[in-house]
Amino acid sequence: MKTKLMGILVLLLAAFSGIGSAVEPELTFRFVHTHHPSSFPPLLWIHVRNPSYMAFELANEMAASMLVVDGISFPRTETTFAGPPGLAAQGEWEGCLPLADYASPINLGKHRVSMKIGRTSSNEETIRWTEPLNWRQGNVKTREKEVREAAAALKAGVPRTCVEQWLTVQDGGPHESRQVRYYLEPFFKVVVPYSEPGPQGRQGEAVSGRAKVYQENRVY
């Protein structure tokens, strides 16, 4: 009995040893983007996990975060943060931020990009930057091509909050269970299947399958 009690005490001490100490968050990011020039701007898909037994002030830390492009750090200039103000102990959050939130004058071509929150640096991703297009300067064929490529970029796991930075208008009429139909001018529909809301600490639904694209006039 004494040995068992000592074992429990050791476990409790191990668990509480980090309560008073600052533990840096775990940070990963990926790009959600099309592989050819389009009117859909690249998004930073971010996942932040708080491994600490203390709450993490996410909004404050995000305000001071940096985007690192080819080894050069650029500060965040957007004051509004759509995520939660903080993360609970052992909590996590994922969502998307526009590149425009950071003062990073990315030139055309290939770049190495990572993020930094406090002392924590993310993984590094590579992107080939192109000038965004105005789809209205093309035709129906070019518009359909970019819509299909955007739909293909919405892979399983992408949070719904990210999807709806690209697909901002829901189509009217009844929707199938766990699927949402979006409208894009001039007459395209994108149907995105979603999972159930994620576990505690993660925000809402995520893409759960392949998005479908077809032509049809908007339903109001």
* Cβ atoms of 182 and 170 closer than 8 Å: yes
pLDDT one-digit tens code per residue, 40-77: 999 999 999 999 999 999 999 999 999 999 999 999 99
Give the residue from 116, 133, 150 where a domain finishes. 133
Residues 26 and 40 in one domain: yes
pLDDT one-digit tens code per residue, 95-134: 999 888 998 777 888 999 999 998 999 999 999 888 889 9
Residues 22 and 99 in one domain: yes
**How many domains is the chain partitioned into structurally?**
2
Q: What is the pTM of this model?
A: 0.84
Residues 67 and 123 in one domain: yes
DSSP E strands, the chain: 26-32, 43-49, 66-69, 72-75, 92-98, 109-117, 120-121, 125-129, 179-184, 188-193, 212-215
Residues 18 and 125 in one domain: yes
Structural domain contains residue 53: yes
Structural domain contains residue 70: yes
Residues 114 and 21 in one domain: yes
Give the residue from 99, 133, 167 where a domain finishes. 133
Domain containing 47 equals 14-133
Structural domain contains residue 1: no
Q: What is the pLDDT of residue 174?
A: 83
Residues 128 and 25 in one domain: yes
Structural domain contains residue 146: yes
Residues 108 and 190 in one domain: no
Beta carbons within 8 Å of 11's beta carbon, 6+ residues apart: none
Phi-psi region of 137 (alpha: psi -120 to 50; beta: other; left: phi over 0): alpha
Provide the token pair at 190. Answer: 């994108």
Give the residue from 102, 133, 164 where a domain finishes. 133
Q: What is the pLDDT of residue 100?
A: 86
Structural domain contains residue 193: yes
Q: How far out from the chain centre does Cα 50 lie?
A: 17
Residues 153 and 213 in one domain: yes
Structural domain contains residue 5: no
